[in-house]
């Protein structure tokens, strides 16, 4: 039997043999790069479209300039409602604005007045609220000249009482009888509205959701007519539980200028409206128990949306 001689191997078979004897790379770089690109693309699609991150508890000082402007507008509109100048100044200080925070309101009003912000009634009213805030504090800005002196703030509806009528006792038939006095009629309270409702916003929808992290919340969103641009500084009223509360959109800027929320008390029912600007919702929102998809018990929450009606 003759020995193996490489010279006797045909060239084609020799090439095949060398192919399998060649040292292979430990990984396929092309496959690794393709896998990395697919992984990044899938991750971005999931985090941006399927399950986007919702930012909570952003400090006011972390807002971008546009959101700080919305926040300042909301602060002054809230001040116009409650007159609490200390709270308003504290909120401005939390923005960590450069220089005098009250003068910053005047400067912001100036920027808005020169940008066409006052072309709408809501924008003009927002500027008036800013001017009523910084004016009494001895500050001024170009909005004072561009807009003019703001009109007097609307007064709160007052209660008037009619005079208490006292009925004259009827004449007695005999002089010996004591006259019988009629009961005094109860005073009638008349509410005198000073600003008629304008119904400038309409309810879009009110939906429920069950979330332990946001248990028992009424989340309200207020949008412009296009349904996508949020409107900050709008008053929302929740009536129920033996009282009422007024809160404003835009004061939680990490949730956007359209957003406001109210914490319900378990077992109570609430009616939501925009005072003077919308009709109240038809059905009360009840703070009843609910079960999350993963089986946890909590209180149901609501998401209510309003939109400008023109």
* pLDDT, tens digit (0-9, with 9 covering 90-100), for 4-52: 555 555 665 555 555 555 566 666 777 778 888 888 887 777 777 766 6
CA 286 → CA 221, 238, 266, 293, distances in Å?
Answer: 19, 12, 8, 20
Question: Using CA atoms, how far apart are residues 218 and 196, in angstroms rounded to an integer?
Answer: 26
173 pLDDT above the threshold of 80: no
Strand order in the sheet with 235-240: 243-248, 235-240, 269-273, 285-286
Supply the pLDDT for residue 195: 43
State the pTM of this model: 0.54
Question: Which range, 40-44, 75-79, 167-171, is most confident?
Answer: 75-79
Question: Using CA atoms, how far apart are residues 83 and 308, in angstroms rounded to an integer?
Answer: 26
**To the nearest whole number, what is the mean pLDDT of the chain?**
79
Supply the pLDDT for residue 306: 96
219 pLDDT above the threshold of 50: yes
| Domain-wise residue ranges, the chain | 60-146, 201-308
Q: Which overall architecture, per CATH, does domain 201-308 show?
A: Sandwich (2.60)
Supply the pLDDT for residue 186: 47
Please, are residues 185 and 164 in contact by the beta-carbon 8 Å criterion?
yes
Please, are residues 273 and 280 in contact by the beta-carbon 8 Å criterion?
yes
* pLDDT, tens digit (0-9, with 9 covering 90-100), for 87-130: 888 888 888 888 888 899 999 999 998 888 888 888 888 889 89
Q: SS3 of 47, please?
A: helix
Top pLDDT among 226 and 1 is at 226
Average pLDDT value for residue range 211-231: 92
Top pLDDT among 153 and 135 is at 135
Supply the pLDDT for residue 182: 54
């Amino acid at each position: 039997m003759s020995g193996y001689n490489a010279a006797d191997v045909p060239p084609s078979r020799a090439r095949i043999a060398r192919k399998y004897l060649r040292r292979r790379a430990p990984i396929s770089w092309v496959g690794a790069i393709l896998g990395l690109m697919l992984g990044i693309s899938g991750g971005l699609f999931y985090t941006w479209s399927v399950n986007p991150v919702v930012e909570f508890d952003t400090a006011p000082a972390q807002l971008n300039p546009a959101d700080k402007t919305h926040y300042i507008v909301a602060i002054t509109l809230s001040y116009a409602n409650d007159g609490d100048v200390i709270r308003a100044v504290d909120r401005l200080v939390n923005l960590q604005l450069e220089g005098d925070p009250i003068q910053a309101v005047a400067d912001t009003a100036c920027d808005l007045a020169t940008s066409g912000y006052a072309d709408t009634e809501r924008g003009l009213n927002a500027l008036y609220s800013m001017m009523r805030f910084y004016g009494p504090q001895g500050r001024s800005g170009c909005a004072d000249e561009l807009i003019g002196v703001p009109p007097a703030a609307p007064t709160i509806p007052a209660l008037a009482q009619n005079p208490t009528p006292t009925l004259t006792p009827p004449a007695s038939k005999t002089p010996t009888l004591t006259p019988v006095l009629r009961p005094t009629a109860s005073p009638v309270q008349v509410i005198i509205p000073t600003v008629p409702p304008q119904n400038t916003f309409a309810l879009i929808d009110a939906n429920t959701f069950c979330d332990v992290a946001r248990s028992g919340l009424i989340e309200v969103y207020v949008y412009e007519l296009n349904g996508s641009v949020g409107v900050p500084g709008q008053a929302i009223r929740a009536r129920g539980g033996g009282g009422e509360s007024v809160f404003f959109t835009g004061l939680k800027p990490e949730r956007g200028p359209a957003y406001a929320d109210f914490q319900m008390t378990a077992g109570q029912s609430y009616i939501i409206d925009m005072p003077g600007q919308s009709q109240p919702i038809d059905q009360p929102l009840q703070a009843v128990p609910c079960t999350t998809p993963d089986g946890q018990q909590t209180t149901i929450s609501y998401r209510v949306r309003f939109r400008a009606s023109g």
